[in-house]
């Protein structure tokens, strides 16, 4: 029986899997490597810094897009390229600008088309 080498990942990969903005994580997280076991532990029992980031941000674009109900491309078209806090996201929702309504409609249409494609029988 051979010993299995523990898999490690770069901090950027771990941050993506944790759905947090890397630049907002503690320096020791950004400067190290993360093992699969450490990632599992962070997901199972998040430390306070991780809970705080998930609650208040700043959030990566993937999380911002999901919370606004638009695509990452839709954010880019609206000129939003930076991480946003939860308060920033709520302010956009409250303002409900035209671009947000348009991008939500676009996203809904894309999802409708994807669902339709899944229903079609394959040949």
Chain segment 4-26, per-residue pLDDT in tens: 455 889 999 999 999 999 999 99
Extents of the domains making up the chain: 7-57, 61-122
Tell me if residue 117 falls in helix, strand or coil: helix
Long-range pairs, 63-70, Cβ under 8 A, ≥24: 63/19, 64/89, 68/92, 68/93, 68/100, 68/103, 68/104, 69/104, 69/107, 70/100, 70/103, 70/104, 70/106, 70/107
Confidence of residue 3 (pLDDT cuts 50, 70, 90): very low
Half-sphere exposure of 92 (CA within 13 A, CB side): 21
User: DSSP code of 120?
Assistant: S
Average pLDDT of the residues in 95-105: 94
Which pLDDT value is given to residue 114? 87
Q: Tens of pLDDT along 58-92?
A: 999 999 999 999 999 999 999 999 999 999 999 99
Judge whether residue 98 has pLDDT over 80: yes
In DSSP terms, which residues pair with 34 in a beta bridge? 9
């Amino acid at each position: 029986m051979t010993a299995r080498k523990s898999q490690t990942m770069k901090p950027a990969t771990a941050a993506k899997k944790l759905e947090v903005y890397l630049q907002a994580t503690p320096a020791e997280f950004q400067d190290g490597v993360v093992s699969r076991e450490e990632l599992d532990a962070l997901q199972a029992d998040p430390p306070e810094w991780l809970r705080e980031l998930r609650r208040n941000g700043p959030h990566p674009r993937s999380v911002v897009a999901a919370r606004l109900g638009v695509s990452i491309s839709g954010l880019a078209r609206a000129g939003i390229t930076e991480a946003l806090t939860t308060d920033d996201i709520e302010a956009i929702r409250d303002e409900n600008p035209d671009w947000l309504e348009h991008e939500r409609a676009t996203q809904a249409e894309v999802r409708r088309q994807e669902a339709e494609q899944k229903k079609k029988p394959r040949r």
